[in-house]
Structure 1
Amino acid sequence: MFDDFPPVRVYAPAGLYEDLLAYLVRRLLENGANSSFVNRLYDEELAPEAIVSDPIEISLARTSSTLPTPELLYGPDRPNSAGCDLASQTALGRFSALLSERADMPEPQAADPASGEIDAWVKTAAEAQPAWNALGGRRRANLLRTAADALEQGRNEFFRVLAGEAGKTVDDAVAEVREAVDFMRYYARQAERDFESPMAQDGPTGESNDLSLHGRGVFVCISPWNFPLAIFLGQVSAALLAGNAVLAKPAEQTPRIAKLAVDLLHSTGVPADVLQLVAGAGDVGAALVNHPRIAGVAFTGGTDTAARIQSALAGKSNRPIVPFIAETGGQNVMVADSSALIEQTTDDAIRSAFLSAGQRCSALRVLCVQDEVADTLLESIRGAATELTIGDPHDPSTDIGPIIDQPSLDRIQAHIERMRSLGCEVWTGGRLNESLEGPYIRPHIIELESLAQLEGECFGPVMHVLRFDAADLAGLVDSINRLEFGLTLGVQSRIDARVNEVIARARVGNIYVNRDMVGAVVGVQPFGGMGLSGTGPKAGGPHYLHRFAVEKTITINTTAKGGNVELLRSVAIDAPT
């Protein structure tokens, strides 16, 4: 009778205990679920057709009409930025051909603070700002939306410059262009909503009360080299959309990318007098910040530089009090307890600490691992890090590109040697062609005895590891808080009570649970820290744009023109008939 049975495949999993235990649990959960085939097979009330129906077809029938397509993920009035299928060999081949055409564009001339140029630029911007502010939120938003579309359509040129000047890998270049597009579209929607018309306020009859938002004047935007397009355009577009004129000061390592972005904005309708590029080193930024006609400063960069800017702004008694929006670095920690999934934590730690060569303000700096799983997790992370390829960012197979410049590499190497001198165990991994010229470095893992061994942030692919006792989780979080940084924090745990304890206790701006801790998405994960990590409000969030504006309240006694029509109308409606 078995001759009539269809072929059946029988398989038995093989592997180590720690692998098979998780597999067994998953199978038990699946087979024990009410929706499982095994459970439904013995349900006498179910028809055979229902048992053998295709679950994928059922799912598609239920959800296809309600789930938004990727482009409409954020609604019809804010298109999602376009991505690239980097899993496709065809797409990677196109990238390889594209990046082989190295970008060749001149570097913008650096400003001379002693020449009087900055005075002239500030004067020009201040004279142009009132007309730009008078355009209103909707017209400014339309211009920035046009710029976002143009950036998306012309992204290939930006990919080349990002790889050549900033050392961005293919993945990082694509992500950066997308973030820049998202910033412009997100802030444009806010500007259209909040800056176009006054907002009527509730109040008594007989008067009108309106609140309106306007540009402050001339804003200085100082951006970093690690996100030379996304952060640059995020700051600049927010300041412009709020009605300000902008003097944009990029990092001295990446002026070409900034020049390309400013040229794009000018070509799509932003007046040249309203947006001016001011290239140069730190002395140029200092001259801009100290100018008496500056109405605000937006800065992303090092904590020490932010402190100097803050002191400069506060120390001038002959100028108005101006806002300072700062996003700085962090001593970012990921806490992994004994319930964390080893494979997931490995992937998240590798991505957070080593990709982008660790040159993200949000990057993982210290991995705190519960004693019971520390050896297993570290073995997994070392194995994964060994497979990373360090090399030319123009090569699509590269995982980790170069450090931005030789002085930055020297600081990273000096930190590693200091940790060795303290007796810390240092591990090095990854595949690096030693004949490759440039500021390249392999991923490093350094075991600590205490967080007190750290002195500031090491801005590169260096992961420190600290083991902890589960009973001292609260003390661990307190020690993290004592570092005074508060940018990002990762938590790897499947115990909700433990996750909630960490979230409640940590003084950190962005907390990520059971995922990597980099790559905040505009409008989804508003980004910014507290303490030494920044002033707020968060970039890509609902409160950011308003910090670039002044508020004006207009109260009008409407009865002064003769009677209260609104009150008379109310009396007439309420009168007996």
Structure 2
Amino acid sequence: MSLEIINPADGSHLATVPLTSADEVARHTEDAQRVFDSAVWSGLAPRERAAALVRLADLMERDAGTLARLDMEDAGKPIAECLANDVPGAIESIRWFAEAADKLAGAVPATAPDILAFTEREPFGVVAAILPWNYPLAMAAWKIGPALAAGNCLLLKPADATPRSVLHVEALALEAGIPAGVLRVVTGDGPTTGAALAADPRIGALSFTGSTRTGREILATAARTNLKRVSLEMGGKSPQIVMADALAFGDALVDGLVEAAFLTAGQNCTAGSRTLVHESIADEVVARLAAAATALVVGDPADPATQIGPVINDAAADRIVAAIEGAVSRGAVAVAGGGEVAVREGGRYLAPTVLTGLAAGDPILTTEIFGPVVTVQTFATRDEAIALANAVDYGLAASVWTKNVDDALAVARGVQAGIVSVGAYSEGDLTVPFGGWGQSGFGGAEKSLAAFHQWTREKTIWIQLGR
């Protein structure tokens, strides 16, 4: 069986890739276990693994244009976004984790004089990762870097719609001298390929980025089988909290609100899809936000001037349009956007949309839309802002716009989210952990040295001396 890869920009056929069956997943897992047991990768010194990963990063940099084009075509992402953000970020991730390979350290606790005790972090052996379609290359690098640096063999399943950049990286890994079977890309869909990875008892750890529904299924499968370690980074409904003094940020305020809401056409788990603005400045902020949204260039993702490309497919477009129309029918006002834009036949392009006048409890305020849609609500007090921010089941990210340190800390500490940025829309760099709370995931499972905890297990060694 196979999967057809479709260009979201115009509906054209791009490629055909295999749909990996459950039996094939089992064979790949067995092969990966043999490679791990052979110690051709796991037995290397950390610096030797690091050197190979640095070579991989160098090759990715050499082929940056190709990688950007593949993600642009598969995911409909603007080429400018791929070249400026996704590809450089992926390369940086591989290099960062390569450089961290020899920084993993255990501990030697204080014990009795006749005892030597210490801890080590060891690789699981065979591990797996299941990727989303919105950031194919960038998310792959977040998994590849720490999993391989720690000495594991990784089975990597890209999203069924966006496999080609990851397949290219698999080839580059071999060119970099990483042994065959250390990184294996298994193309396929969730119900067949992804489910088989979740159920395989030989896979010691699995990282998933995607929908909350699928994350629940993976966690349940892991519980029924070998209790493999599972990390989940799932949906979001992130608030952007604009305090009364936020106009002091000048253009940076609206630029940040727009980037948060509309980057990757809003198809982003951390998208700032809820703007919460103090009532004293609401009119001005809404007017400027609507003007900036209207000015965004919706167009062909291959055009370097394009800022908003197509949404991923017809089903997504229909769902997003229905959510907008439903909100408007219940009294919301689209002060910007609200419909589709004709760009290329066969693609679905939506205008960046700003909705105001929403009634408390409107479904669009709590449902992840995953499209270029931002809602605006007002508040009068800091406590009210925090309550509105926390009025969802998700808890991935949030932004706070204020120059008042007291407000910044109070709101950042009060918001139930895994990462909160102040005076910016940011997920932080590779030095800090990333992950959500609540229905957004487990928190802190990606990036930084904390990412190695997903891909290694701790062992205590206790030695009785003098006997």
Matches within 5 A, 1:387-466: 387-429=295-337, 434-437=342-345, 438-447=347-356, 448-453=358-363, 454-466=365-377
1:187 to 97, 118, 129: 97
| Aligned CA-pair RMSD | 2.2
Secondary structure of the residue aligned to 2:349 is coil
The Cα shift of 1:478 comes to: 2.5
Matches within 5 A, 1:170-569: 170-174=79-83, 175-194=85-104, 200-283=108-191, 284-316=193-225, 319=226, 321-341=227-247, 343-429=251-337, 434-437=342-345, 438-447=347-356, 448-453=358-363, 454-470=365-381, 473-515=382-424, 517-518=425-426, 520-523=428-431, 525-560=432-467
Residues 1:107 and 1:264: Cα distance change in structure 2 (over 3 Å): farther
The Cα shift of 1:431 comes to: 12
The Cα shift of 1:107 comes to: 3.6
Matched to 1:337, the amino acid is M
The Cα shift of 1:519 comes to: 5.3
CA contact (8 A) 1:179 1:522 kept: no
Superposition TM-score, scaled by structure 2 size:
0.90
Matched to 1:262, the amino acid is E
Instruction: Indicate the structure whose relative CO is greater, using CA pairs within 8 Å and at least 6 residues apart.
Output: 2
Query: 1:158 maps to what in 2?
Result: 67
| Counterparts of 2:14 and 2:174, CA distance in 1 | 18
CA contact (8 A) 2:61 2:91 kept: yes
Higher mean C-alpha displacement, 460-469 vs 475-484: 475-484
Query: 2:77 maps to what in 1?
Result: 168
CA contact (8 A) 1:389 1:430 kept: no
CA contact (8 A) 1:390 1:431 kept: no
The Cα shift of 1:324 comes to: 0.6
CA contact (8 A) 2:366 2:391 kept: no
The Cα shift of 1:452 comes to: 4.8
The Cα shift of 1:204 comes to: 3.5
| Counterparts of 1:431 and 1:304, CA distance in 2 | 28
Provide Cα deviations, 1:316-346, integer angstroms capped at 9, x if missing partner. 3xx3x32111111111001112211253321
| Counterparts of 2:110 and 2:323, CA distance in 1 | 58
Counterpart check, 1:122 vs 2:32 = no
Q: Identify unmatched segments of 5+ residues in structure 1.
A: 1-102, 561-577
Query: 2:47 maps to what in 1?
Result: 138
Matched to 1:181, the amino acid is I
Aligned residues: 447
Bigger Rg, which one? 1
Superposition TM-score, scaled by structure 1 size:
0.74
Matched to 1:486, the amino acid is G
| Counterparts of 2:243 and 2:80, CA distance in 1 | 30
Secondary structure of the residue aligned to 2:246 is coil
Secondary structure of the residue aligned to 1:356 is helix
The Cα shift of 1:294 comes to: 1.7
Secondary structure of the residue aligned to 1:229 is helix
Provide Cα deviations, 1:419-470, integer angstroms capped at 9, x if missing partner. 1222211233499862522121100111222255334201011000111123
Higher mean C-alpha displacement, 446-455 vs 373-382: 446-455
Counterpart check, 1:108 vs 2:108 = no
| Counterparts of 1:452 and 1:419, CA distance in 2 | 7
Matches within 5 A, 1:11-50: none
The Cα shift of 1:141 comes to: 1.5
Secondary structure of the residue aligned to 1:146 is helix
| Counterparts of 1:541 and 1:223, CA distance in 2 | 19
Query: 1:84 maps to what in 2?
Result: none
CA contact (8 A) 1:537 1:547 kept: no
Provide Cα deviations, 1:103-155, integer angstroms capped at 9, x if missing partner. 99744312123xx2122111111121131322232221211111111111221
Query: 1:56 maps to what in 2?
Result: none
| Counterparts of 2:366 and 2:277, CA distance in 1 | 21
Secondary structure of the residue aligned to 1:294 is coil
Secondary structure of the residue aligned to 1:372 is coil
